[in-house]
Structure 1
Amino acid sequence: MEKQFQSTLQSNYSLQAGEVSAQSPSNIALVKYWGKKKNQIPTNSSISYTLTHSFTTTNLQFKPKEEKGFDVNVFLEGEYKESFAPKIITFFERITDYLPFLEQLSFEVHTSNSFPHSSGIASSASGMSAIALCLVEIEQQLGGTLTEDERLKKASFLARLGSGSACRSVYKGLVEWGENHFMEGSSDLYGFKYPDAEVHEVFKTFHDTILLIHEGQKSVSSTVGHNLMIGHPYAERRFEEANENLKQLLAILKSGDIEAFGKLVEHEALTLHAMMMMSDPAFILMKPHTVAALEKLWEFRRETGNHLYFTLDAGANVHLLYPAQDAEAIEIFIEEELKQFCQNGNYIKDKVNF
């Protein structure tokens, strides 16, 4: 057990009923992590933009109980979801050493997303980080003594044990995760907020418009995809490359070189999907409209010189990244040329959160 995250509650703390709420955003990785070790430890460093309008709001109601074990009921958008409870209970089992009150309380989780469920936005990141923030707040209400910075770090640590990338959603701006030799403060255990002062102003203005190419469930889950990196013939080289790319990206973020940023971020996205295609068994999460949208984007960039780039998560949807200075022309292009590739014409307009 990580001693720095042990509970700060006194042994004679008293239980009481109450409720807490938290809101936590989704995030989009620029340098991807793909593959993990035991206990949600990443195989390489990653860094992500935290988003502004794509978030999860969670209200956690709790009351003391007599019987042992975990007692959780989950409601999504007001509708009871029996199938959601096992995932939360698994999460609680992983973190009970750090929050001893979990088995002593009954919980009712009311959660909602600002974006459509199963739309391909990382709801596990925003959802698990929101729950982690709620749990740390309960600990404080019961007599915990953590500072604000310590609470955020503990929430990030706990969120990671629910969903790896959730540890990056606790903070605004750019958030790094994964220990490396070139970033003081980096850790495998929690996200590290990259200093805003090290980021050129242009990168703080970026928009992220998400083309909802496919709104259904993915054919291969991220959990399965991560596991397929075990024994993957190109895994070790990929892990090295990701760390090298992160080091390069940090210099780019400071310099303000938008073209170098776009080139590296697009390479990272395509490498992620290349690793999927070379897994055993191989799988493809991109759809024909994903590829068509990328080709149209490249054509637009060649013809206009506008700074429009993309990244992809582990799915079919496309995150369009562009600075505010080019937003007007790009958003006309999205509406007139890229919307056609979206399922039901749906896309989400978002931006980075600094």
Structure 2
Amino acid sequence: MTEKDFLPNAYANLPARGKVKWKAPSNIALVKYWGKRANQIPANPSISFTLDACATTTSVEYTKKEDISQFSFDLFFEGKPKEDFKPKILTFFERIEEYLPFLKKYHFIIETSNSFPHSSGIASSASGMAALALCLVDIEKSIDKGITDTFFLKKASFLARLGSGSACRSVKGDLVQWGEHKGIAESSNLYGVDYPFRVNPVFKNFHDSILLVHKGQKQVSSTVGHNLMHDHPYAERRFAQAHDNLDKLKKVFESGDLEEFVNIVESEALTLHAMMMTSMPYFVLMKPDTLQIINKIWNFREETNVPICFTLDAGANVHVLYPESVKEKVTQFIQDELVAHCENGHYICDRIGSGAKKLIVHEE
């Protein structure tokens, strides 16, 4: 599909008002997306586990208005007006207007909340933009009854990407791939797709315990970080590595080879941070506790042969990944050894989820 496939037909009838509500999960990349081109096109393909507990719930109430010269919306986060979020939403509306030309015809009341604390250091842009995109495409579906469920999910992923690249991987579950890759015929730079190959059952019930090492504002925004890849001396080799690792994961996912899974996932995490440490300007986003956690995970794995591994986003927090079969051992290890390295002892227990869900709107 191309961008033009997401341009709608002329709308016949616009409803006077309505309300929709969606819950969308966060996701954790196994092969990392780092570097992008114009229009939120990824410089390399990525693949992620869709999470379950870490999610954003968003409702959009819409009412027809007379002045259609500009966008109009109120935004509430956790029940309170959130003015500093509004510029990002406005930019998002400007990017997607040609695909949803009804946007200026309505005043929207957007209410959003996260299942995890906003200050927790968990990136909420993926789940937040996915939830908002799903609400908006749901409104379009009420106008155009011909939209199929398959097209609905693709368009929601396509639009979510224009708000936050990784948000396109938060519409569906449980293993989502994004970015053109010759080994995956269905792959696209425009939206995420269900991983099309066989996946061993061991990967179907993986857990992700998120160790909150640092809850503060990110030292470098994702947008700035991605842009630093444009002139990065190691960028092309990194992009090739992502393709190589995606190829390697096909056999890993099929066979259930946890040892090779660990190697690839940890290498990807460290490579992401290596690219940041060797960009100009350069950043060290890990904290001393991040490194201590990593070393303790390595020691624990070597001593016990428990298939536990870590991955990292562009920050100090550590995602601890492990299969259901070792949950009790890993949980005890986290409590005994790793919690001490978390800010205020805080961590979040999550697991692989099944994607976004539409919620019932209760009329007041």
- Say which SS state the counterpart of residue 216 (structure 1) adopts: coil
**What CA distance in whole angstroms lies between the structure 1 residues aligned with 2:137 and 2:14?**
16
> What percent of counterpart residues are identical?
58
**What CA distance in whole angstroms lies between the structure 1 residues aligned with 2:10 and 2:21?**
20
Once the two structures are TM-superposed, the CA of residue 120 in structure 1 deviates from its matched residue by 2.3
For residues 181-225 of structure 1, the C-alpha deviation after alignment (integer angstroms, 9 at most, x for no partner) is 110100000001113x61000011210000000011011111100
1:224-243 correspondence to structure 2 within 5 Å: 224-243=224-243
Once the two structures are TM-superposed, the CA of residue 2 in structure 1 deviates from its matched residue by 1.7
Q: Residue 339 of structure 2 aligns with which residue?
A: 339
Runs of 4+ in 1 over 6 A off after TM superposition: none
**What CA distance in whole angstroms lies between the structure 2 residues aligned with 1:310 and 1:36?**
25
1:109-258 correspondence to structure 2 within 5 Å: 109-195=110-196, 198-258=198-258
**What CA distance in whole angstroms lies between the structure 2 residues aligned with 1:74 and 1:320?**
34
Once the two structures are TM-superposed, the CA of residue 14 in structure 1 deviates from its matched residue by 2.6
**What CA distance in whole angstroms lies between the structure 2 residues aligned with 1:83 and 1:116?**
17
CA contact (8 A) 1:8 1:144 kept: no
Once the two structures are TM-superposed, the CA of residue 9 in structure 1 deviates from its matched residue by 4.5
- Say which SS state the counterpart of residue 111 (structure 1) adopts: strand
AA matched with 1:106: H
Q: Residue 101 of structure 1 aligns with which residue?
A: 102
- Say which SS state the counterpart of residue 100 (structure 1) adopts: coil
CA contact (8 A) 1:27 1:122 kept: no
CA contact (8 A) 1:9 1:142 kept: no
Q: Which has the higher contact order (CA 8 A, sep 6+)?
A: 2
Once the two structures are TM-superposed, the CA of residue 8 in structure 1 deviates from its matched residue by 3.7
Q: Residue 289 of structure 2 aligns with which residue?
A: 289
- Say which SS state the counterpart of residue 120 (structure 2) adopts: coil
Q: Residue 266 of structure 2 aligns with which residue?
A: 266
TM-score between the two structures when normalised by the length of structure 1? 0.98
The 10-residue stretch of structure 1 (126-135 or 140-149) with the greater mean CA deviation from structure 2: 140-149
Q: Residue 300 of structure 2 aligns with which residue?
A: 300
Once the two structures are TM-superposed, the CA of residue 128 in structure 1 deviates from its matched residue by 0.2
1:16-55 correspondence to structure 2 within 5 Å: 16-55=16-55
**What CA distance in whole angstroms lies between the structure 1 residues aligned with 2:78 and 2:351?**
24
Unaligned runs of at least 5 residues, structure 1 = none
AA matched with 1:27: N
AA matched with 2:308: L
**What CA distance in whole angstroms lies between the structure 2 residues aligned with 1:145 and 1:8?**
10
Once the two structures are TM-superposed, the CA of residue 250 in structure 1 deviates from its matched residue by 1.6
User: What is the number of equivalent residue pairs in this alignment?
Assistant: 352
For residues 261-314 of structure 1, the C-alpha deviation after alignment (integer angstroms, 9 at most, x for no partner) is 011100000000000000001111111110011111111111111111000011
CA contact (8 A) 1:9 1:139 kept: no
**What CA distance in whole angstroms lies between the structure 1 residues aligned with 2:111 and 2:178?**
28
**What CA distance in whole angstroms lies between the structure 2 residues aligned with 1:252 and 1:8?**
43
- Say which SS state the counterpart of residue 259 (structure 2) adopts: helix
Unaligned runs of at least 5 residues, structure 2 = 355-364
Once the two structures are TM-superposed, the CA of residue 16 in structure 1 deviates from its matched residue by 1.2
CA contact (8 A) 1:9 1:145 kept: no
**What CA distance in whole angstroms lies between the structure 2 residues aligned with 1:118 and 1:239?**
31
**What CA distance in whole angstroms lies between the structure 1 residues aligned with 2:189 and 2:334?**
37
**What CA distance in whole angstroms lies between the structure 1 residues aligned with 2:312 and 2:10?**
42
AA matched with 1:194: Y
Once the two structures are TM-superposed, the CA of residue 144 in structure 1 deviates from its matched residue by 4.1
**What CA distance in whole angstroms lies between the structure 2 residues aligned with 1:133 and 1:218?**
27
Once the two structures are TM-superposed, the CA of residue 18 in structure 1 deviates from its matched residue by 1.0
Q: Residue 316 of structure 1 aligns with which residue?
A: 316
CA contact (8 A) 1:208 1:321 kept: yes
**What CA distance in whole angstroms lies between the structure 2 residues aligned with 1:9 and 1:154?**
17
Once the two structures are TM-superposed, the CA of residue 226 in structure 1 deviates from its matched residue by 0.3
For residues 226-274 of structure 1, the C-alpha deviation after alignment (integer angstroms, 9 at most, x for no partner) is 0000110000110011111111012101110001001110000000000
AA matched with 1:344: N
CA contact (8 A) 1:72 1:88 kept: no
- Say which SS state the counterpart of residue 119 (structure 2) adopts: coil
Once the two structures are TM-superposed, the CA of residue 119 in structure 1 deviates from its matched residue by 1.7
For residues 33-70 of structure 1, the C-alpha deviation after alignment (integer angstroms, 9 at most, x for no partner) is 10000000000000000001111000101111122101
Once the two structures are TM-superposed, the CA of residue 25 in structure 1 deviates from its matched residue by 0.3
**What CA distance in whole angstroms lies between the structure 1 residues aligned with 2:145 and 2:102?**
12
